[in-house]
Amino acid sequence: MSATDPRSIRLDQHLLPGDGRFGCGPSKVRPEQLADLAAAGRGLLGTSHRQAPVKNLVGSVRSGLASLFGLPDGWQIVLGNGGSTVFWDVATFGLIENLSQHLVFGEFSSKFAQAAAAAPHLADPLVIDSAPGTHPRAVATTEVDTYAFTHNETSTGVMMDLRRPDESSFVVVDATSAAGGLLWDPSQVDVYYFAPQKCFASDGGLWLAACSPTAIERIERIAASGRWVPASLDLKIALDNSRADQTYNTPALATLVLLESQLRWMNELGGLAACNARCRQSASIIYSWAESRPWATPFVADPAQRSEVVATIDITTASDGGVDANDICAALLANGIVDTDSYRKLGRNQLRIGMFPAVEPDDVRALTACIDAVVERLRP
């Protein structure tokens, strides 16, 4: 703790961003989405998910995602309750045939590997890991039937290009914080799954998965094989329901309304390319700012691996003439700027900033000015 109590710092009003939400999920929800939610009111909220109004909403989410991602014919958007964490269990039952290979480079990517390792019906997964702040590379291996990648490792701010290890490999991607903000090529992926509380500015609790025709074949083959699968985690049941614009059990309707509203905005903005351009603009602001400050450094050394949606910025520690990142966060919080804390288990003197499409690049610029002002006051 420095001599100045960070919570006592008051920043000039003109420095502050228009919106102070920079979290990595749940993340900033645009006011227009809330207006859409209020407008959905009586016609939708509190009505049956087996009737036309909600089914149309689910249909609109599915077609909006297919158009955002430019999915080829034959792909399906499948959805169910439980968020990305539950999808790891869904995949353990319904996608991995016997042996998976996992690229592990942070907290989230390690969790899917753990789920596969714990499953008694699967072989012990192959794990390729690398130091935090980098990502490992997949190794094409004949026995592997599923390659598990993470498009953006939210705990470290590392992104990776999605490419099949070889032509016939089956690739499953955790895109929870990437989907809607990063570019990808459907020809390199079979399952691209995520939850709506990050780039899609909605609430958590739902998982969505874009599935290739090969993935659908795999889902149907495993379902026909007689493997025991709990119904709530059964991907074939989810697929059948999704084809009818439904979910197996009751979804949160407000989450779907917020998601659909954000998707319409993203597609009107110009689709995935336009969303990615906004994120890249924010990323360029924050990384070039960090490189120009003696007490800040982008955590990810390789610029090609630096995430365009989640920036991790190391701060020089107080003992080396910098400041405690927790003090920066506390001062920002006292000024209405929230969720700039680093991922706790990473244990670094670091800030982590969500730069999802909903976040204004100008607000990211304002945030950098606020951090400058806070550091100025906190440094001895």
- The burial of 97, by beta-carbon neighbours within 10 Å (0-12 exposed, 13-18 middle, 19 or more buried), is given as middle
Backbone angles phi, psi at 230, to 5 degrees: -60, 140
Length of the chain in terms of residues written: 380
Interface residue with ligand PLP among 177, 307, 312, 350 (CB under 6 A) is 177
* Strand partners of residue 298: 313
β-pair type (100-104, 126-129):
parallel
Please tell me whether residue 203 binds ligand PLP under the rule CB under 6 A.
Answer: no
Please check whether residue 149 is in contact with residue 171, taking contact to mean a CB–CB distance below 8 angstroms: yes
Please identify, using beta-carbon distances, which residue of 75 and 108 lies nearer to ligand PLP.
108
Residues 6+ apart with CB under 8 A from 124: 117
Please tell me whether residue 85 binds ligand PLP under the rule CB under 6 A.
Answer: yes
Residue with the shortest CB distance to ligand PLP: 83
How many residues bind to ligand PLP according to rule CB under 6 A?
12
Please identify, using beta-carbon distances, which residue of 208 and 239 lies nearer to ligand PLP.
208
CB 66: neighbour CB atoms within 10 A?
Answer: 16
Output 359-365 pairs: Cβ under 8 A, ≥24 positions apart.
Answer: 359/19, 359/21, 359/22, 359/27, 359/28, 359/282, 360/17, 360/18, 360/19, 361/278, 361/281, 361/282, 361/285, 362/17, 362/18, 363/17, 363/18, 363/19, 364/17, 364/22, 364/282, 364/285, 364/286, 365/285
| Contact mark string toward ligand PLP, 141..160, x via CB under 6 A | ---------x---x------
- What DSSP state is assigned to residue 176? T
Please tell me whether residue 25 binds ligand PLP under the rule CB under 6 A.
Answer: yes
Please identify, using beta-carbon distances, which residue of 177 and 349 lies nearer to ligand PLP.
177
Please tell me whether residue 174 binds ligand PLP under the rule CB under 6 A.
Answer: yes
Q: How far is the CB of 27 from ligand PLP (least distance, A)?
A: 10
Please check whether residue 99 is in contact with residue 115, taking contact to mean a CB–CB distance below 8 angstroms: no
Q: How far is the CB of 293 from ligand PLP (least distance, A)?
A: 27
Q: How far is the CB of 202 from ligand PLP (least distance, A)?
A: 11
Please identify, using beta-carbon distances, which residue of 154 and 368 lies nearer to ligand PLP.
154
Q: How far is the CB of 177 from ligand PLP (least distance, A)?
A: 4
Please identify, using beta-carbon distances, which residue of 176 and 255 lies nearer to ligand PLP.
176
Interface residue with ligand PLP among 6, 20, 64, 83 (CB under 6 A) is 83
| Contact mark string toward ligand PLP, 36..55, x via CB under 6 A | --------------------
Please tell me whether residue 176 binds ligand PLP under the rule CB under 6 A.
Answer: yes
Window 90-119: residues binding ligand PLP (CB under 6 A): 108
What are the strands, taking DSSP E only, across 3-46? none
Please tell me whether residue 84 binds ligand PLP under the rule CB under 6 A.
Answer: yes
Alpha-carbon distance of 292 to 279, in angstroms, equals: 20
Residues that bind ligand PLP in the complex, under the rule CB under 6 A: 25, 83-85, 108, 150, 154, 174, 176-177, 195, 204
